[in-house]
Amino acid sequence: MDCKAVDILETYIRDRLVEDTDFNVFIVWKAKILQNWKYMMASTLADNMYYELTYNGDKEEWYLDAYDKVENQVIPG
């Protein structure tokens, strides 16, 4: 399942690149609940993008959400 998730995201990113660029895709976090999978993923591109990939085991469908990281703040305890 991990290889399929990486392939889906690599294809998604390559289809949107303006020029041929080398990059890697990596899994930040994943979880399996019953027949469903949830992946939080990113790439080595300097584009601040973050991806959520979900596999619905009932329908055998994948869903991809792409997010642009706007800000990262440190909030003291």
In a domain, 43, yes or no: yes
In a domain, 57, yes or no: yes
Domain coverage including residue 57: 2-11+25-68
Alpha-carbon gap, residue 37 to 19, rounded angstroms: 32
Confidence of residue 69 (pLDDT cuts 50, 70, 90): confident
% of the chain surpassing 90 pLDDT: 91
In a domain, 73, yes or no: no
Q: How much helix, strand and coil, in percent to the nearest 5, is found in the chain?
A: 20, 45, 40
In a domain, 61, yes or no: yes
Number of compact structural domains in the chain: 1
pLDDT reading at 19 higher than 90? no
Confidence of residue 6 (pLDDT cuts 50, 70, 90): very high
- What pLDDT was estimated at residue 57? 96
pLDDT reading at 51 higher than 90? yes
